[in-house]
Structure 1
Amino acid sequence: MNILDLLAEPLGYSFMVRALVATVIAAVVCAVLSCWLVLIGWSLMGDAVSHAVLPGVVLAYVLGAPFAVGALVFGFLAVALIGVVRDTSRIKEDAAIGIVFTTLFALGLVLISVTPSQTDLNHIVFGNLLGVATTDVIQIAVLGALALTVLVLKRRDFTLYAFDPTHAHAIGLSPRVLGALLLALLALTSVVALQVVGVILVVAMLIIPGATAYLLTNRFQRMLIIAPVLSVLAAVTGLYLSYYLDTASGGMIVLVQGVVFTLAYLFGPEHGILGRRLAARRRAAARA
């Protein structure tokens, strides 16, 4: 069997085609947003929002509503609660994030345990990429397009907010509004990735691509290209490996992303551990 046969065989199954489309969409949207999350230092916020949507998904199932609606409501609720706890008490933001997301996540687990269901709601926690239906793909595409469109249109404002919120305020932008918009997009993007890798692994797709790109370039505009390219390659590779090795697809996708990050961490031309040493040796040899 040649490489073309290896690539084509999984595409003979409709569930693999749907999984591939959903994976690519989620990988692109999560990777683009992750660039700002890494730059601002909102990795823990991404963890919080991605876990806090779980009770919303379960309640949406109970009420017969789309999962995305419940997830969005609880994503926005989590962001609001974190702000309230932070602004009205002595509790700092990191502690407020930990309190809110663990409490809401625990609520989701309790609701799963007491909700009679013919659907295995644990798939929401651990992901069920190969079970994605056509309606799910359409939903992921619509939400992903919405999030990506806003990110692209507001990229200059978001970048200025990330680097210098004081300057952003001085030229008439509202850092508070920009921050709130980014958090709303975080909630929306979490819903996009939720059906691909599940609640637990969403945070990896929201952080690893941006962190990897951050090690490979000093220019933010390049980050916005490198992150989604590497994310898509890792996602597609992980999906194919899961097919041939018969492993969990969501876990394999994140594992491949982790391997790509490790390679950048070690061999990045400027910021990789071994890359820096090799560059230093070349400079020393040139001076000698």
Structure 2
Amino acid sequence: MNLFELLAEPLSYTFMVRALAVTIIAAVLCALLSCWLVLIGWSLMGDAVSHAVLPGVVIAYILGAPFALGALVFGFLAVALIGGVRDTSRLKEDAAIGIVFTTLFSFGLVLISITPSQVDLNHIIFGNLLGVSAADLWQVLALGAVTFTILMLKRKDFTLYAFDPTHAHALGMNPRLLGALLLGLLAMTSVVALQAVGVILVVAMLIIPGATAYLLTDRFSKMLLIAPVLAALGGVVGVYASYYLDASTGGMVVLAQGIIFAFVYFFSPRHGLVAARLAARNRRREAAAAN
């Protein structure tokens, strides 16, 4: 079997084409958002919101409402609860985040366990890429288009907010509103990624691409290009690998992105571990020669 046949065979199945489409959309959106999350230092907040939306999604399913609506409500509820616990107790933000997101996530697990359903709601937790329907694909496309459009239209405001909220306020922006909007987009992106990898692995897709791009460039504009490209590459490789290895599709997608990060971590030209060690050794040699 030649390379063309290896690439073409999975595409002969409709479910694989849908899986690839959803994976690429989710990977690109998560990668774009991850650039701001890494820059602001909201990686743990991304973990919290992505897990906290679970009960919202289940309740939306029970009521027959759109998943995005339930996710948004519980995403903002999680943020409000975290802020409330942090501001009204001696606990720091990391402890508040851990308490709120684990409690809401557990609430979602309980709802799944007691909700009669003709479909397996555990797919919300672990993902079900190969079971994506045409309706699911259209929902992902719609949510993805809205999220992508807002991110692109507000990218300069979000970037200024990430670097210097005080300066953003001085220019007439509302940092609190920008933060809330970013968290709302995080909730919507989590819904898109749920279709691909499930709640548990969403956080990886929201952190790994931005962290990888951060090791490759010092310019944020380049991060917004590098992160989606690497995320989409990892997504495609993961889907193909899962097909030929008969492995978990969502797991392989995240594993592929993790392998890309590991390669960049060691071999990035400027910030990689190998480059840093070589630079340190060269400095020691130069110092020894100067003495």
TM-score by length of 2: 0.95
Q: Which residue of 1 aligns with 2:95?
A: 95
Matches of 2:66 and 2:170, distance apart in 1: 42
Classify 1:284/1:216 alpha carbon distance in 2 versus 1 (closer, same or farther; 3 Å): same
For 1:54 and 1:146, locate their aligned partners in 2 and report how far apart those are by CA, in whole Å.
Answer: 21
Match in the other structure for 1:78: 78
User: Per the alignment, in what secondary structure is the counterpart of residue 9 of structure 2?
Assistant: helix
Shift of 1:90: 2.8
CA distance in structure 1 between the partners assigned to 2:60 and 2:172 by the alignment: 40
2:245 is equivalent to residue 272 of structure 1: no
| DSSP-derived class of the 1:80 partner | helix
CA contact (8 A) 1:58 1:108 kept: yes
1:233 equivalenced with 2:233 (yes/no):
yes
Counterpart of 1:153, as a letter, is: L
Q: Does residue 117 of the first structure (1) align with residue 117 of the second (2)?
A: yes
Shift of 1:279: 4.1
Letter in 1 for 2:185: L
Could you tell me which residue of structure 1 aligns to residue 201 of structure 2?
A: 201
Match of 1:177 in 2: 177
CA contact (8 A) 1:216 1:269 kept: yes
Contact 1:267–1:273 at 8 Å: present in 2 too? yes
| Structure 1 position 282, deviation (Å) | 6.1
How far apart are the structure 1 equivalents of 2:227 and 2:243?
24
What is aligned with 1:33? 33
| Farther-moved stretch of structure 1 (159-168 vs 192-201) | 159-168
Structural mapping, 1:1-288, within 5 Å: 1-280=1-280
- Greater alpha carbon shift after TM alignment, 89-98 vs 223-232: 89-98
Question: Within 2, Cα distance between the matches of 1:17 and 1:71?
Answer: 26
Q: Within 1, Cα distance between the matches of 2:174 and 2:65?
A: 35
Deviations 1:143-165 (CA, angstroms, capped at 9, x unpaired): 11111111111111111111111
- Alignment partners' CA distance in 2, 1:103 and 1:89: 17
State the distance in 2 between where 1:178 and 1:163 align. Answer: 13
Give the letter for the 2:32 counterpart: V
Give the number of equivalent residue pairs.
288
Residue identity over aligned pairs, in percent, reads 74
SS in 1 for 2:226: helix
CA distance in 1, matches of 2:189, 2:102: 20
Structure 2 letter corresponding to 1:238: G
Offset from partner CA, 1:148-193 (integer Å, 9 cap, x none): 1111111111111111111111121121111111111111111111
Query: Structure 2: which amino acid aligns with 1:225?
Result: L
1:72 and 1:191 in contact (8 A); partners too: no
Please tell me whether the aligned partners of residues 238 and 249 of structure 1 are also in contact (alpha carbons under 8 angstroms).
yes
Find the aligned partners of 1:188 and 1:173 in 2 and give their Cα distance: 23
- Following superposition, the deviation at residue 212 of structure 1 comes to 0.4
Take 2:148 and 2:220, find their aligned partners in 1: how far apart are those partners? 17
Q: Tell me the secondary structure at the aligned position of residue 65 of structure 1.
A: coil
Query: Could you report, residue by residue, the CA deviation over 1:126-152 in whole angstroms, capped at 9, with x for unpaired residues?
Result: 000110111111111111111111111
**3-state SS of the aligned residue for 2:161?**
helix
Query: Does the 8 Å CA contact 1:22/1:140 hold for their aligned counterparts?
Result: yes
Cα gap change, 1:280 to 1:185, in 2 (>3 Å): same
SS in 2 for 1:53: helix
TM-score normalised to the size of structure 1?
Answer: 0.95
Structure 1 CA distance for aligned equivalents of residues 61 and 184 of structure 2: 22
Instruction: Measure the CA separation in 2 of the matches of 1:217 and 1:4.
Output: 33
Specify the code of the residue in structure 1 equivalent to 2:159.
T
Corresponding letter in the other structure for 2:178: L
Whole-angstrom CA distance in 2 between matches of 1:135 and 1:72: 20
SS in 2 for 1:216: coil
Local SS of the residue matching 1:121: coil
**In structure 2, distance between residues paired with 1:222 and 1:278:** 25
Output the CA distance in 1 between the equivalents of 2:249 and 2:23. Answer: 10
- Consecutive unaligned residues of structure 1, counting only runs of 5 or more, are none
Q: RMSD over aligned Cα, in angstroms?
A: 1.6
Structure 2: gaps (5+ residues): none
Aligned equivalents of 1:188 and 1:197: distance in 2? 15
